[in-house]
Structure 1
Amino acid sequence: MTPQNDQNSVMDGPESLVHILPHLFGYHPEAALVISGLAPGGEPVHFTRADLPADTSDWPMAVRDLLAFQQTRAAKGTETVDGLVAWICPDPADPLYGERSMARHRPLAGLLGVAAASHGTDLLEVVYVTRDRYWLMSTDAYSEGRLISPPPAEYDATALPRSGDVRAALAPVTGDRAYAIAKAVDTVLKDADVQIRTAGHIKVAKDTAALLDRTIRALADGTTTIEQIPDDTAARILVGLQYSHVAGIALEYCEDHELPAARDLWLHLARLCPDEVNWCVVEPTVLYAATSWGLGQEGIARLALHIVNDATREYYLISLLVHAMNVEHSYEGFRKRLRDSRASRSDAITG
């Protein structure tokens, strides 16, 4: 589930349900279920999202969990709610994407209505939203859908990312490339094991921090490119990031001249985590989220955190970033703390 801070937006008609949707989360949700309460003035409150299950047998549980989570949030609030609205946002990769997929998902709208009623609230509308059309599932059962018209300027969402595109950008390498990186990681692990037994964990961590510093500096000043980073280097950084203090140091590359290079590196490393080494994926993906936020792309940051949260729910940096985005609302305050941490380190590991 992905709750966000409530927005000062108002839904005042059917199409406004579509226009407002990406602004609830800072991105266009796809392959997702979204539900929101409506305050008397039409303001969305207590909204949340969940992944849209591809398997219809998983729909009942997904709906029950989504409604229960949303109602738990609502119970903690003080707003009066007139009812609920929901959005079904299909996966653009669905071969039935469009009218046929809408028809397939119609029973899901029914499940949402039953679940809302079980919580003693009315489901006012379920909107099925593709990239260019939408259906009001209470009335548009057999139509080709309604074209999404350009929104008012205050609801323009053309600059906001689509979750499907972000997921595609983070998709791991496959085939020979996956085999090569898995082999490189295996070699690094064996070398690290020898080094740990002879010199200790601190030596491995310090070497990683130094390698990380050289790599980001080279990327930032243009003396190397992402494509020129050897698999051995990538594997050594991925393995070294498993030390929490090394991941914390990596987070501190937060200055304007460092952020683009660091973000490119984290995205590259996240993609170098196929199934064979997916235990490495959490750290670079969280760091990718942090640098995306620093570059003004909060929607991508939240999406990346949601994606990686599926892999682990215990990683402290996820909680740290979510709290910073939800409470501080500005990267600058977060960056100040990173700067203070960076300045306090007289030594890359033990400072």
Structure 2
Amino acid sequence: MNQHHESTGPVDEQQITLRGPAELADALPYLMGFHPNDSVIMVALHGGRGRFGGRLRLGIPQSPQEWAPVAEQLAECLIKGSERRGERPDAIVIFLCQDPAEGESGSQLMERLRPLAQRLRTACGALDVPVLEALCISDGRYWSYCCPDARCCPAEGNQLAMPGTSVMAAAAAYAGIQVRGSLREMETRLAPLKTSAAAGQQHALDSAGAELMPRLLDEAGREEVARETLDLARRLMKRLREAPVAAPSACDINDDRLIGHDEAAAVILGLQDRETRD
């Protein structure tokens, strides 16, 4: 399977060939841009050599009763979405990522999630797209739901490579691709502030809502708000792109200082219009 990405190096396109479950498991954070947790991830493959295409992620439903309908929805979303973009997948790779519950081993978790993996494989097969590989990743180890050979896929799982040591890690470093922590850490960074700034943010949202919501309910006003929202979003993105690079620990603080509460509120409220958001 091949991963293509843009490169600033001496060639315009770099190709990495991933061989087997181990390299697929190690590549997942670079495919997503973060370390997933509590996630089912599906990745479309195209062509005879398995070029990676569209991918989607969803939190693993807690209730096994939800697994069958969710599997059908995910398979249809990925396959039909790829078709709408002009390229039907030739195969799919599935990842189930979750930490063991208290008192549960990784092997036990893998077996607990096996019915979900099977539901996903069946749902994809019903749409005539085979699942090439289905992996469970948990607690630094991985298991294959597709390989029956205990010599390469033992019951206790295989250890993931040390971070930064895989072929994908080397290629990603060369191309400037970053893995931005875990999904849980990203969610924490997006949690509401609990400092005095929160009151100012709430006031800005209230003011923006009072000004923008009546206009969004009017057809002519909605189109005007859409233009204003997109213009402001472009200016903010340009401002962020041109800002000096800071240490990772200071990135969020520096970014927050570049965007005023009133600007952020105007974009947030303006994006409540579905067409503008899309």
TM-score (norm 1): 0.52
- 1:235 pairs, out of 181, 194, 202, with 202
Closer, same or farther in 2 for the Cα pair 1:132/1:23, shift >3 Å? same
Equivalent residue runs for 1:194-209 within 5 Å? none
More helix by share: 1
Q: Deviations for 1:130-153, whole angstroms, at most 9, x for unmatched residues?
A: 352111122368622211113121
The share of aligned pairs that are identical, in percent, is: 19
The offset of 1:85, in angstroms, is 1.6
Give the counterpart of 1:166 among 157, 177, 186: 186
Q: How does 1:1-351 map to 2 (within 5 A)?
A: 10-38=17-45, 39-76=47-84, 81-90=89-98, 92=99, 94-95=101-102, 96=104, 98-130=106-138, 132-139=140-147, 143-149=155-161, 150-152=165-167, 153-155=170-172, 159-172=179-192, 227=195, 229=197, 231=199, 233-242=200-209, 243=211, 251=233, 252-253=235-236, 254-255=238-239, 256-257=242-243, 261=253, 263-264=255-256, 314-315=273-274, 318-319=277-278
Cα distance change of structure 1 residues 80 and 130 upon mapping to structure 2, 3 Å threshold: same
Query: What is the Cα-based RMSD across aligned positions, in Å?
Result: 3.9
Is the 8 Å Cα contact of residues 192 and 198 (structure 2) preserved in structure 1? no
CA-to-aligned-CA distance 1:244-283 (integer Å, 9 cap, x gap): 569668744453459855633699x8xxxxxxxxxxxxx6
Provide closer, same or farther for how the CA distance between residues 48 and 172 of structure 1 changes in structure 2, counting only shifts above 3 A. same
One-letter code aligned to 1:229: A
CA–CA distance in structure 1, aligned partners of residues 4 and 78 of structure 2: 13
Bigger relative contact order, structure 1 or 2, given CA contacts below 8 A and separation 6+?
A: 2
Shift of 1:234: 3.0
* Alpha-carbon distance between aligned partners in 2 of 1:63 and 1:54, rounded to the nearest angstrom: 13
SS of 1:127's equivalent? strand
Q: CA deviation at 1:64?
A: 0.5
Shift of 1:169: 2.5
Structure 2 vs 1, CA of residues 81 and 31 (structure 1 numbering), >3 Å: closer, same or farther? Answer: same
Q: Which has the higher strand share?
A: 2
Runs of 5+ consecutive residues of structure 2 not aligned to the other structure: 6-14, 213-224, 245-250
